Each structure stands twice: as C-alpha cells, then as structure tokens.
Chains A and B, each alone.
Chain A
Amino acid sequence: GQQVMQIPQYQHVQEGEDFTTYCNSSTTLSNIQWYKQRPGGHPVFLIQLVKSGEVKKQKRLTFQFGEAKKNSSLHITATQTTDVGTYFCIGDAGGTSYGKLTFGQGTILTVHP
C-alpha cells in the first residue's frame, strides 16, 4: 500500500543552523501538505504543494516537491528557538475528491540556544 516515509525522526540543532526534513512516497502524489505542531499543541497547516518540481518559500522556510511528485522536503534556514516542534507531511494520492491520505511519521526538531 501507499506509504510516506519521513526522515529524520529527530533532529537536534544549534540555533542558527539549518534544518531539513524529507518525505518520500512509494507512489505518485496528487499533492503534499506540510504541518507544524508545537509541543502540546495541535498541527498547523504550513503549505500545500501541487505541481511537479514546485518550490515555495515562507520567510526562512523553503518547501520543495520533487519532479516525480513522490518526494518533498522542508528546509529551515538559520533556525530559531521558535522553530521547535514536530514537522510532518501528509501525502494525498488523489483519485477521489478526498483522496487517500498517508501521514509522515514526523520529524521532532529541537533547537538549542
């Protein structure tokens, strides 16, 4: 069945260092979404990528969708302590109005000041 693997599971960085998390799907996706969940909080939608090879930026965050629409990455430049939390992706295989959703396991980011 369809799977989305997300790596790494954990990442510890010093404030100011960069951070990247990757999602890899076993099948072609219709779209992929990224979310951030602060400790004790709820997932908050960051972005949706739809087009092959798409790159979107939000301030220090850069999101990429692979050419084959199977891979995606989230890169944070110069991390800050406010970036701590779990980042996860949701892959949508499409096919119906509501698709078949698979969830990345999440990357827990810790930023040391």
Chain B
Amino acid sequence: DTAVSQTPKYLVTQMGNDKSIKCEQNLGHDTMYWYKQDSKKFLKIMFSYNNKELIINETVPNRFSPKSPDKAHLNLHINSLELGDSAVYFCASSQPGGGGYTFGSGTRLTVV
C-alpha cells in the first residue's frame, strides 16, 4: 500500500544514455513533483504537475522532460545523461490545504 512509489530504486548508467524514472501515487492527490537531492543533501524542486498540467518548471536542462499521462503518474525522462546528473531523485505528491508533501523512496541515479 505504498502511497508514492517510484521505480527503479537504483539506476547505474553510462554517460550519453537516455533513461526514465517512473512515479505513481495512490493518494488521490492533484499535484505531483520531481525533486533532485545532491550529494550535500540539498533538495531542489525540478517540476510540478497539477492534474496533468505543468505548473512549476525550475531551471532544469531541457534534457529532463517530465510526462504525466494522468494525475496519478508523473514520469521523468532524461536524455544524454551527464556525470553531474548523478543524484537521488524524489517523486512527491501533495494536496492543497496542508498535509505536506508525501515523498517516494527515491531513485539513486549514478552516471558513470
């Protein structure tokens, strides 16, 4: 009964490859997010979708493309992976009115 599930948990890939991370939430939340956490544990928001529509798009290379087929899913596709993309990527969801963000368990991406 995982509330926000993302796959894979670990991803090791070579520079230049294209990879995707999937996220699904069963909380009925309207808004979903992608966050990046670097090696210093600093969390940065990348994208936010509300009901399949993009509402926040922070300064992120256009190699990163989110896709939301429905409000329960938000996937992240990364083209031409670079060493600097290595990080932990968290998916999250929320509902307006409080209650905070519910995070997935994270995907540790390592680019070699």
Contact = CB atoms under 8 A, between A and B. Distances in A.
Nearest to A50: B98
Interface string B18-31: 00000000000001
A98 B50 contact: yes
Interface residues of B, number: 23
Contacts, number: 51
Interface string A84-113: 001010100000011001010110100000
A90 B42 CA distance: 12
Contact of A97 (B96, B101, B104): B96
Residue among A43, A50, A106 with the highest chain B CB neighbour number at 10 A: A43
B48 A103 contact: no
Which 6 pairs show the lowest CB-CB distances between chains A and B? A45-B100, A42-B103, A43-B103, A103-B43, A42-B105, A48-B98
